[in-house]
Amino acid sequence: MRKLGFLKNKEVKNATWLIGGKVAQMLLSLFVGVLSARYLGPSNYGLISYANALIAFFMSLCTLGINSVIVKEFFDAPNEHGVILGSSIFFRVLSSSCSAILAISVSFILDYGEWETTVVVALCSISLIFHSFDTINYWFQAQHKSKVTAIAGFFAYAATAIYKIVLLILGKNVFWFAFATSVDYIALGIILIFAYKKHGGQKFSVSFKKGKAILSKSYHYILSGLMVAIYGHTDKLMLKMMLGEAEVGYYATATAICAMWTFVLYAIIDSMYPTIVKAFKQDQKLFEKRNRQLYAIVFYICVFVSLCFLLLGGFVVNILYGDEFMPATTPLKLVALYTAFSFLGVARNAWMVCNNKQKYLKFMYIPAIIINVVMNWLLIPSMGASGAALASLITQISTSIILPLFIKDLRPNARLMLEAIILKDVFTKSNKQNGGE
């Protein structure tokens, strides 16, 4: 029996485990995260958010774009999973170590004289190295075994939650909380390695030839990822430079509230990714249909949530964070709106990889960076955190739909997105009932 019309049982089960695991994490985050934010206050909470934003610039360099292509690598070379993972993790650890040093150096220059900021950045940068083991997640997803990653993610986050609770009880300072992100990735890396071995994963091995082959396909995503990080986190950096940590805290509160539910979108996208890749190899019309369906699901879930925040945003902020964080209300409403267009860009990755159009990403993201920086520069002085959120909304609309219309090879994808928004050919039955199987 088919569920949701076009999602297959394994996709539904895969997404259910991903969503279920994230729901458990969300409940912990809702409890521990809110207590931590209240304890730290807008300024210290903003300081940690600023450090994480700076680290995010280098996260794209650390991933080397591998996460965007590795699922297809598993399908293309089913007998080489061990060398694919081993080589990917090796190169990611190497790049992450260099990126951590670079992040600390940049903070020392940008925040010269603010030694507390540089220390917080250094503590957060440790997470870059252990984030490399998140690559194992994609091995489980390629086999529709997201139950394993959901459980692993929950236990890792539980360890981080316990760590934060201990800090709250002991009344520790902001430095201890800055290390919490690293605790999360350290725990997740250890759990994923044990889970991989338990489920019969091939022994890791490193091949420079295989690593080079993977990088030749993924390097386009390094630049695009960096560009996404720039226009995705420039707002926090500019807020800190122009108005201070407190304004960053309000904006971070808005994005944190939105992050409590966006795991649903990640789960749906990750679950449908393998099916879209298979459809590409079997039938072009089915491939386009699966992409339209994914875009429609992502877009309309976001629209529904945006309406909820539009009506209840102030109540949500007040009940969770208190009066001190009420300036986060308007930014929250705008962040909820731009999430729809942001995740259309995330969902587009499958189409880009299958059609080998990664090289065009830079032609979208360079103008997007310019748009974002200019909009932030114009809007932040008068609107504060709300101006940063509005700048991001304008940028996301431009990147997801408007800019691709000016690039010939990406127009078909922009067309699919527009068709998905008007629900064209989304619910009609496919000629291949088993397409993607």
pLDDT single digits (tens) 199-245: 877 788 887 887 777 777 776 667 666 766 676 677 888 888 888 87
- pLDDT (0 to 100) of residue 15: 58
In whole angstroms, what is the distance from residue 354 CA to residue 140 CA?
20
Q: What is the pLDDT of residues 157-196, one digit of tens each?
A: 888 888 888 988 888 888 988 888 788 888 888 888 888 8
The whole-number pLDDT of residue 16 equals 63
Quick one: pLDDT at residue 123? 92
- Answer yes or no: is pLDDT of 432 > 50: no
Q: What gap in Å lies between CA 426 and CA 5, rounded to an integer?
A: 10
Mean pLDDT of the chain: 80
Residue that has been written with the tokens 């990714």 in this structure = 273
* Bridge partners (DSSP) listed for residue 3: 7
Report the alpha-carbon distance of residue 361 to residue 220 in Å, rounded.
7
pLDDT band at 362 (very low <50, low <70, confident <90, very high): confident
Say how many C-beta atoms besides its own lie within 10 A of residue 220's C-beta: 21
Q: CA 29, CA 317: separation in Å to the nearest integer? A: 15
Given this model, what pLDDT does residue 298 score?
Answer: 87
Proportion of the chain above pLDDT 70, given as a percent: 86
- The answer, yes or no, to whether residue 416 has pLDDT greater than 50, is yes
Nearest 5 degrees, angle CA 55-CA 56-CA 61?
95
Highest mean pLDDT of the ranges 17-26, 48-57, 225-234:
48-57
Q: Which pLDDT score is estimated for 228?
A: 63
Coil/strand/helix, residue 59: helix
Sign of the torsion angle spanned by Cα atoms 315, 321, 323, 328:
negative
The pLDDT of residue 378: 92
Between 308 and 4, residue with greater pLDDT: 308
Task: Give the number of other CB atoms < 10 A from CB of residue 212.
Answer: 11
Lowest mean pLDDT among 14-23, 204-213, 269-278: 14-23
Residue 435 has pLDDT above 50, yes or no: no
* Residue 266 to residue 149: CA distance in whole angstroms: 13
DSSP state string for 256-317: HHHHTTTHHHHHHHHHHHHHHHHHHHH-HHHHHHHHHHHHHHHHHHHHHHHHHHHHHHHHHH
Q: Which residue has the higher pLDDT, 28 or 373?
A: 373
Which residue did the predictor score with more confidence, 270 or 178? 178
Percentage of the chain beyond pLDDT 90 is 3
Check residue 379 and give its pLDDT: 92
Q: What is the mean pLDDT of residues 130-149?
A: 78
**pLDDT tops 60 at residue 84:** yes
Contacts of 341 (CB under 8 A, 6+ apart): 393, 396, 397, 399, 400, 401
Average pLDDT (257-271) is 79
User: Which of the four pLDDT bands, split at 50, 70 and 90, describes residue 366?
Assistant: confident
Paired with 7 in beta bridges are 3
